[in-house]
Structure 1
Amino acid sequence: MNYKNLAQIVLDNVGGPANISGMTHCATRLRLNLKDRSKTNTDILNNTEGIISIIEKGGQYQIIIGTEVNKVYAELETIMSNNNSFANDNNNNNEDSNDSKNILSNIFSTISGIFTPLLPAFAGSGILRGLVLLATQAGILSEDSGTYAILTVTAMSVFYFLPVELAYTAALKFKVSPYIAVLIGGSLINPDFIALMGNQGNGALTSFLGIPVVLMSYAYTVIPIILSIWVYSYLERFLRRVIPSGLELVFVPLISLVIMVPLTIIAIGPIGVYGGEFIASVVNTLIESSGLLAGVVVGGGWNVLVMFGLHWAVNPIMINNIATLGYDYIVPLTFATNFAMMGAVFGVFLKTRNKKMKSYALSSVLTIAFAGITEPAIYGVAVKLKKPFIAAIIGGAIGGGFMGWAHVSSNAFVFGGLTTLSAFVGGEFMYAIIGLALSFAISAVLAYVLGFKDPITETSVSA
């Protein structure tokens, strides 16, 4: 695929650089905020090789490309950066681009933009953590060995240093200095700051200029640093407006650090920690009290959230659970959804007589199996043929219900596929395998039995 040409085609058919007020991408789709929707040529884009589908949600124009979206986005960024009108307009309107009517869209876009760059790190670390646990349970690796310690540190560092990593990605999203943001995040896990808590831990007290400070442990946390950098983005833009350009180099970072680190430690941090713990506690309590119902709802409905890009609102909860508790109940239910979609598309592969659809269905199955990415299957097969999507919902609900009933947990935040099954080691592994098998098999059988119409030829393919 020629990514540069595809990026140019996208740009030409969304109204050009001047019509884009903001852009980002997640694992499979370009997310564009457009000023004038009437300037788009959706039919042309839908028929462009390399583009799976186009959807619009919450005022956002989303172009589904698949797992190579980051390469197209990089080319698009290069083209856009060379367009002065876009750069100037984007800078001038950065604070005003979030219209109230697009608040929900902007929240999801922001969450996506912050977490997407870290997904490969989460996935690699999660798989490694599962393999280490598997080797330990199999007696291959001793918990007292240096090898175990080093591999555990390697797998868990991505979570320990979340305040630093998220500070960087949040700064890029909010368009402020990533280096000052990293210093703010680093301050929260500085050994000297941690030492202030002594043996008491969370809730220990100290003071700053006479102001009482409730100390918290910020390693492994998600929400505090994101809130902090969001506040910092307003502070930095204010400082750059009021401080003469010749003094910005010294005084913008100086004032930013002097204000933001204490403000985060005194107010923003504790609010974020307690808020995150409360949300996670509510979600986990609901799942523990009614695992079957939660499994049915999440297992059956997750693909709908993915279809509209709304799943990003839940991902931080899962990441927070893994980072703070060491396990999560929602991740397994997303596995059930993925395996259900994989099964439904496999049923299409078995039944379709359209060679192009058969080839695409097989590639979509493999994409889920080895990368845990469902969007190509959702938009390219399930939604297009309709009945396979229904099959996936039913299969996901049944498999998810079983896994929820069994309280299957995951020890890593990963996308559900064959390569990430190690995330279930130590968390009702056999129940997880049974639940995923149910999701896949039921969806495959239903997709095959319910039938569908092959694209292009419109030949009925039914039982």
Structure 2
Amino acid sequence: MSAAQEIVNSVGGADNIISLTHCATRLRFQLRDASSIDVAEVEGITGVMGAVPQSGERFQIIMGGGVQNAFNDINALPEMSAKRPLSDDELKASARAGGVRGRFSWVDSFFEFLSDSFRPILGSLLGASLFITFMALMSTLGVIGNWADPRTELPPSWAFVNLLWQSVFVFLPLMVAYNASKKLNADPWVGFAIMALVMLPGFTSLGESDAAYTAVIAGSEVTLIDIFGVPLTVFGYSSQVFPPLLMAAVLGPLYKLLKRIIPENLQLIFVPFLAMLIMLPLTAFLIGPIGVFIGAWVAGGLAAINGFSPFIFAILVPLAYPFMVPLGLHWPLNAVMLLNIAEHGSDFIQGPMGAWNFACFGATAGVLVLAWRDKEVQMRQTATGALAAGLLGGISEPSLYGIHLRFKKIYPRMLMGCLVGGLVLGFGGSVTTNAFVFTSLLTIPAFSNIALYGAAVAAAFFTSMLLVIIFDYRTPEQKAAARRATGTADEAEQATVETKVIVVGDVETNQAKQWVAALGGEDNVSAVEWVAETRVRVQLKDSTPVDVEALARAGLPAAVQVADDTWHLIAGPEAELYATAINRRLGSVALVS
């Protein structure tokens, strides 16, 4: 059975999947019912680095760098194209899925909006960051001049190479506008066109006309020009991300309103037309400038902290990031980094951020060492993929979701690495970069004061790694379970397991007899196993004779078919007793026969 087939089976089959998307490292399922998923079973599938149950019938599976292939393989399965259609109730439930996440659902939705606005362009950003690193390395070696200074006249060949990364960052607002509009169910090309207005050369040239004038707004000097008597603020919007995010946040509800009030047979023409009629001037006159000012205020606040004490800033950023990334709070900071580079030519946040990233990767390296030592094949695969994504791509999510958030003892070790890396930066002085890059091994040359930055990230990496290796990341129970799973438990542990006595009462014995009968009898049951604390997994030869109603009458709270011939009996806290009772029932019948 392929890994794609196993993944689909583990989440309840194709008919249980309402929708499937993916981010840089995770498959993201919206399910009809996620209550019966066995996380341990999912994480045991080859290639899976971890599983993250979420509220609102959502479920995420961490695949690392292979997520695109896994996504394609799943969608290529015959049953995915033959899924039963959604009922009206299910369509409505899926549409309002964001509203069933609890009292703070808007916070969850907000950060999901930010994530999905940037997620599809992570590949292009990563590619551009490597071009930037190459230019920085050539400048450091003296092959070219200061590539990041627009006043530097590069030879034509090198000037062309310098354009390779600019193709991404100059037009970043258009990419963000497309993704953000699509996320809010507006026509993404309409969002693209609206943002393109303020990026036209003709728009920028308005600020260079004789009719243009300057004024001070919110403490900043800006260029204005009157359009039909209304002052228009002329900015350069290259690399800006706050304006397209705000524009999409308004366009989404507007699109929904227009679709509700315009007859369906006229929507193709008049919904995009009216949306553009409203949003084009609104973005140029109001939303765009507000976005620029918001970004400037956030950047100014962080710059004030850094200006007050670079030492404190260098420590706070790496210590805060381990908590910001799982919540999605790092996306606004990425926008500020881009703004710093666009406005000032350099950024001071990415250096301390690198200390956090390498502390994260160091903890993963420590886990990998222990996994090799203890012969834990699954964890070794997970840690290897996560470490490769981190050191080569600067992506921390496989480490976080695949390992760190699953073992609470890792975070203190990782935070110590963050602290040590931050202290090195704080004592050594400031580290800046002239372009937005992913903090990986490959992008170290992009930072000024390479020696200091390299020393800081190395200190963060090896501190976390050594602490994990020395003090482990598992509780004694988790270590014992891992050793038993790999057959490396010591004799005392094996003896404990072998002599464990489970007392099964008459009630459990009687119910086990009735459950087996409802499953088609003893001859139809191939294997029985206690899983996930509250479930009994039963492998059948044939699922046709299964009588779900009889199971319910016999006191079983729920039964879920997770594969063609595999069922989970949701038996509650006494599931181990019932699994033992069923196995004894099968054994006694086999002896009699």
TM-score range, shorter chain: 0.7 to 0.9
| Contact 2:247/2:288 (8 A) holds in 1 | yes
Q: Which structure 2 residues correspond to residues 42-61 of structure 1 after superposition, within 5 A?
A: 42-56=39-53, 61=59
Q: Could you say if the C-alpha distance between residues 25 and 290 of structure 1 is closer, same or farther in structure 2, counting changes exceeding 3 Å?
A: farther
Choose from 121, 129, 140 the match for 2:124.
Answer: 121
Partner of residue 365 from structure 1, selected from 350, 362, 387: 387
309 and 152 in structure 1: CA distance in 2 versus 1, 3 angstrom threshold: same
Alignment of 1:186-335 (within 5 A): 186-198=196-208, 203-335=222-354
1:174 corresponds, among 170, 177, 184, to 184
Segments of 5+ residues of structure 2 without an aligned counterpart are 146-152, 215-220, 491-593
CA 1:6 to 1:418, structure 2 compared with 1: closer, same or farther past 3 Å? farther
> 1:364 and 1:17, CA in 2 relative to 1: closer, same or farther beyond 3 A?
closer
| Residue among 152, 168, 174 paired with 2:162 | 152
- What is the aligned length? 456
CA distance in 2 between partners of 1:144 and 1:450 (Å): 52
Q: CA deviation at 1:234?
A: 2.0
Give the SS at the match of 1:203: strand
CA distance in 1, matches of 2:96, 2:364: 43
CA distance in 2, matches of 1:144, 1:314: 31
Q: Which of structures 1 and 2 has the bigger CA Rg?
A: 2
Closer, same or farther: CA 209–34 of 1 in aligned 2, 3 Å: farther
Code of the aligned partner of 1:219: S
Structure 1 pair 234–351 and aligned structure 2 pair: CA distance change class (3 A): closer
User: Structure 1's 257 and 120: CA in aligned 2 closer, same or farther, altered over 3 A?
Assistant: same
Alignment correspondent of 2:531? none
Q: What is the CA-CA distance between 1:66 and the residue it aligns to?
A: 1.7
1:375 to 392, 397, 402: 397
Alignment correspondent of 1:354: 374
Spell out the pairing of 1:407-426 with structure 2 (5 A cutoff).
407-424=430-447
* Aligned match for 1:457, one of 467, 471, 483: 483
Q: Partners in 2 of 1:451 and 1:460 — Cα distance?
A: 17
Percent identity between the two aligned chains: 28
Deviation at 1:265, TM superposition (A): 0.9
Equivalence for 1:62:
60
Paired amino acid for 2:169 = F
Counterpart position of 1:8: 8
Match in the other structure for 1:161: 171
Alignment RMSD: 3.3
Deviation at 1:404, TM superposition (A): 4.4
Cα deviation, 1:276-299, whole Å, max 9, x if unaligned, reads 110111122213323332332332
TM-score by structure 1 length?
0.86
SS of equivalent residue, structure 2 residue 391: helix
Q: Does the aligned pair in 2 maintain the 1:108–1:313 contact within 8 Å? A: no
Q: CA separation of 1:242/1:10 partners in 2, compared to 1, >3 Å: closer, same or farther?
A: farther
Give the Å deviation of 1:351.
4.6
Q: How many angstroms does 1:399 deviate by?
A: 0.3
Answer whether contact 1:27 1:116 (CA < 8 A) is retained.
Answer: yes
2:356 paired with 1:337: yes
- 8 Å Cα contact 2:179-2:188 kept in structure 1: yes
Paired residue type of 1:354? D
* SS class of match (1:189): coil
Q: Distance in 2 between matches of 1:92 and 1:383?
A: 29
Between 115-124 and 409-418, report the one with greater CA deviation: 409-418
Greater mean alpha carbon deviation, residues 211-220 or residues 35-44:
35-44
Q: Report the residue type matching 1:413 in the other structure.
A: F
Residues 327-381 of structure 1 show CA distances to partners (whole Å, capped at 9, x for unaligned) of: 3222222321222232233334445521224555444333322122333334444
Q: Tell me the TM-score normalised to structure 2 length.
A: 0.68
Shift of 1:231: 1.2
CA 1:9–1:401 in 2, change beyond 3 Å: closer, same or farther?
Answer: farther
Q: 1:110 aligns with which of 113, 119, 125?
A: 113
Label 1:9 to 1:456 Cα distance change in 2 as closer, same or farther (>3 A): same
List alignment gaps of at least 5 residues for structure 1.
none
Amino acid at match of 1:251: F
Structure 2 counterpart SS, 1:68: helix
256 and 361 in structure 1: CA distance in 2 versus 1, 3 angstrom threshold: closer
**Structure-1 separation of matches of 2:205 and 2:83:** 48
Higher helix content, 1 or 2: 1
Could you tell me how far 1:313 is from its partner in structure 2?
4.6
Asked if 1 retains the 8 angstrom alpha-carbon contact of 2:170 and 2:239, the reply is: yes
C-alpha contact 1:236 1:252 (8 A) present in aligned 2: yes
1:109 is displaced (CA, Å) by 0.9
Q: What is the DSSP-based 3-state SS (H/G/I as helix, E as strand, rest coil) of the residue aligned with 2:142?
A: coil
AA partner of residue 115 (structure 1)? F
Q: 1:9 to 1:301 in 2, by over 3 A?
A: farther
Matched to 2:445, the amino acid is S
